[in-house]
Amino acid sequence: MNRLEGKVAVVTGAAQGIGATYAKALAGEGARVVITDIDDCSLTAKAIADSYQGAEVLALRTDVTNEKACEEMVRATVARFGRLDILVPNAALFGKLGYKGFEDIPVSEFDAVMAVNIKGPWLCIKAATPQMKKQNYGKIVNIASGTLFKGSPNLLHYVSSKGAVLAMTRSLSRELGDYGIRVNSLAPGLTMSEAVIAQDVDHHDAHQRTVNSRALKREQMPDDLVGALLFLASPDSDFMTGQCMVVDGGSVNH
Ligand SMILES: NC(=O)c1ccc[n+]([C@@H]2O[C@H](COP(=O)([O-])OP(=O)(O)OC[C@H]3O[C@@H](n4cnc5c(N)ncnc54)[C@H](O)[C@@H]3O)[C@@H](O)[C@H]2O)c1
């Protein structure tokens, strides 16, 4: 408890889903949390306030594909809480993407996935690191995916974007190490977020195949990611950077 007392964390894509779980977990460890999404974050803010008396939360609307919006997100964070220690660029296009062969992906959909899933984290990191450099301390936890190690079919844009997140994590760790900024990534396996639960029957066969591929054969829930997220966000992992932690019940061996 309270491993993040005094720290300030920003989580993007926190209106619902796994991002909301990350935000709650960070608040539970004592961090002051900024929750942002292109959608309204008030339900997540209420859930945190209901769970942790005295928790300090700032809810913002931020489109992570917009450079000025990302800069404003950081400006509002520092104006409210005075610092920024932890960034979790979790927002992505994922849950609502349908499975389709690579030839059938519309160019507009490919571009949208790249804009949110890889340009988005880059813009958030670019906006956040000047403040982290001033503090000579920062923890960036990028969100990759087990799919990049498996080369999962029929989601080419998504899988490629998460491969880019892994590469970006490695490259950034070397650019930011001298400033005390650690950059790691967390790669979840298929996780029963609201969006995944809402997927159609076609997806359910694929979900079962994923469960069967695990050493631990059960569905993965958002809470299964909390231990690794808090480890990567806290001083417990301060001598670790450029790495990727896979949390997927033992489907991928990385
Ligand atoms: N659920 C899984 O099985 C799984 C597995 C591996 C990795 N992931 C990754 O974990 C993260 C969360 O997954 P999820 O299942 O909760 O996804 P989700 O699709 O349910 O949630 C993504 C969130 O991002 C927000 N968002 C989308 N575009 C945005 C934009 N332009 N600006 C700001 N916010 C935007 C959405 O509004 C939504 O709240 C994603 O990065 C996803 O790729 C998920």
Query: What does each of the 254 residues of the chain score in pLDDT, given as a tens digit?
Result: 799 999 999 999 999 999 999 999 999 999 999 999 999 999 999 999 999 999 999 999 999 999 999 999 999 999 999 999 999 999 999 988 989 999 999 999 999 999 999 999 999 999 999 999 999 999 999 999 999 999 999 999 999 999 999 999 999 999 999 999 999 999 999 999 998 998 876 678 888 999 999 999 999 999 999 999 999 999 999 999 999 999 999 999 99
The CB of 192 under 6 Å from ligand 1? The reply is: no
User: Please, what is the angle between helix 17-28 and helix 42-51, to 10°?
Assistant: 30
Q: Please give the domain boundaries of the chain with CATH numbers for all domains.
A: 8-247 (3.40.50.720)
What's the token pair of residue 189?
């396996």
87 vs 77: CA distance, rounded Å: 11
CA 57 to ligand 1 centroid distance, Å: 20
184 vs 240: CA distance, rounded Å: 8
The CB of 31 under 6 Å from ligand 1? The reply is: no
Q: Are 143 and 185 in contact, with CB atoms under 8 Å apart?
A: yes
User: Ligand 1 pocket: which of 158, 193, 197, 210 to mutate (most atoms <8 Å of CB)?
Assistant: 193
**What three-state secondary structure class fits 208?**
helix
Instruction: Report the DSSP beta bridge partners of residue 184.
Output: 141
Ligand 1: which residue has its CA nearest to atom 38? 13
Atom of ligand 1 nearest to the CA of 190: 3
**pLDDT for the residue 203:** 76
The CB of 63 under 6 Å from ligand 1? The reply is: yes
CA 165 to ligand 1 centroid distance, Å: 14
The CB of 90 under 6 Å from ligand 1? The reply is: yes
Does the annotation mark 137 as catalytic?
A: no
CA 104 from chain centre, in angstroms, equals 27
The CB of 37 under 6 Å from ligand 1? The reply is: yes
- pTM, two decimals, is 0.98
The CB of 244 under 6 Å from ligand 1? The reply is: no
Ligand 1: which residue has its CA nearest to atom 1? 191
